[in-house]
Chains A and B, each alone.
Chain A
């Protein structure tokens, strides 16, 4: 319940700003604790529910660190942290930093009827990180208890921990060569992969993000609804603001999902200057806004409207900018960027104060020769990609072909990356680590495809998803986008992938479809097949599937690889059934 005397933390204070030039997260919090800024939590109606200044957070974290030692945990032990958007997450996360433990933020459940799926996922994650303790919000402790299969030193809430005795131990915070946290990332539910991020890597990345990517300055204030278990939410909006002593206003992801317009209310209300979202966040606001909102919104303070986490379509953002222009939103605030957890978070940022810059290239050259040739012909023969900027200072991007040879500018290939923000590997998973890192561990293969032009990066797709038909490279996103433009189909409803066929591989397009009437369904599938054929010159197999049935990665992106695997398994199962029956 909101308390009347509560007021949000200040935006400005006298403490001189330092942009993440610390050697560890605990040192960064020590410094932030000297100022007056801090964290503010809001409910779904934009009412303040909890406030903490960094100074108070630090004091609480130190107590947590001692009590964690009291549980008998050893240095470097993993502490699983089911990460709702609340204050106790912060206390335990930073408590781990001061105590020399490794926090592992894990997702919360979402969606109707997701109990079993969630417990299964949690089991896999707890096993993978070999956690010695699990912290969860009170309502989620039962899920943790269900999922735990190994002996644990503690399963419960932060509040329960606070009732434990506090031993007088000499704290030795996590050092710069030690692991700061594990980040679980996209990967199948059965084989999750934990990215190991050292203090050195996270501090290098935070400095790049705050100083070079965002150009953080005194007077900035962050607003975020991104989940704390996601790299963009954790590094971008928990650690980044703390390491640059900024106040943050948080709303929970579920509250955003229910009332997306409250995100914009929060920015208006608190004069937020920095806030990020994946493209769908901007899209849903554009769709849901009401005329009466326009009077209340004032988005003129929003200096950096970051976009990341999924392929960026310029159209979605232009619609947002046009819709909200009269609330003071400046389309130059858009800041496309590229990143991944394997490089802590941020890899490249577009130039600030320029907005979305795109490159229009010849689709034929792209498909046949993997070349990005500028093009001013008709739309049907063009592909447009968004400029995601140059690599952060100290980092190097290189585009390579399949044999590992570096490619020149405007040649499309694998995006590889070198620099101080790279992970040390996947946690206790040598095989997965070797698959993406060079033997010396200095280069990372991001798994994405793209090209460089004037040193700036354009993402064209995910390599493992690439559809190659008759020697042509076809980007699944393009087919998906075409399907998503049909009435009643939304972004995220479509997955396209390639399966082996008798004569040649076949393109499968799975569409989450809400049409009930069998005749209408048939008609829809046929017309979509025709449309794709006319656009891409290939006959695909359109499969209508129920809503929510397409697999997603933990960050919510459609998982083409998983969809493909399931589809092939299904075909094989069907085959053996009919053989057995025949």
Chain B
């Protein structure tokens, strides 16, 4: 079973590797405006999510995603058809 928390944990693990030490990372931080993720890093993050959860993330579902919380929500939605046990 994959929970939203588990997904957030993964996203944070990734962001912690890139962000300068001491940057506060929280579910509602703006990935581009505040964390300054460029398109290559966004792609890397998405690839990690795809591989970790074995899903395919269509880019057009990301047009309303700006924060880790929103990204986790999107990943959950993509998992649902494959895994009825999702929270």
- Chain A residues within 8 Å of B, Cβ to Cβ: 43-44, 108-115, 118, 137, 139-140, 143, 254, 257-259, 284, 490, 512, 514, 516-517, 546-548
Contact = CB atoms under 8 A, between A and B. Distances in A.
Interface of B: 20, 23, 31-33, 36-40, 42-43, 46-47, 50, 56, 58-66
Contact of A258 (B32, B37, B46, B64): B46
Given A258-B46, A516-B20, A547-B32, A109 B38 contact: no
A511 B45 CA distance: 24
A516 B43 contact: no
A258 B60 contact: no
B20 to A, nearest CB: 6
B60 A257 contact: no
A548 B32 contact: yes
B37 A547 contact: yes
B42 A112 contact: yes
A368 B33 CA distance: 42
Contact of B63 (A43, A118, A257): A118
Contacts of A115: 63-64
A143 B66 CA distance: 18
Given A139-B58, A258-B43, A114 B38 contact: no
Q: Please provide the 5 A-B residue pairs with the shortest distance between their CB atoms, ordered closest to farther.
A: A115-B63, A113-B66, A254-B59, A258-B43, A547-B38
Contacts of B50: 44, 258
B36 A547 contact: yes
B36 A514 contact: yes
Nearest to B43: A258
B43 to A, nearest CB: 5
B63 A548 contact: no
Nearest to B46: A258
Given A43-B56, A516-B20, A547-B32, A111 B39 contact: yes
Contacts of B40: 284, 490
Contacts of B32: 112-113, 546-548
Contacts of A512: 38
A257 B66 contact: no
Contacts of A284: 40
Given A112-B31, A258-B47, A546 B36 contact: yes
Contacts of A257: 39, 43
Contacts of B59: 108-111, 254
A257 B46 CA distance: 11
Contacts of B42: 111-112
A134 B24 CA distance: 44
Contacts of B60: 108-110, 137, 139-140, 143
6 contacts: A44-B50, A111-B62, A113-B32, A257-B39, A284-B40, A547-B37
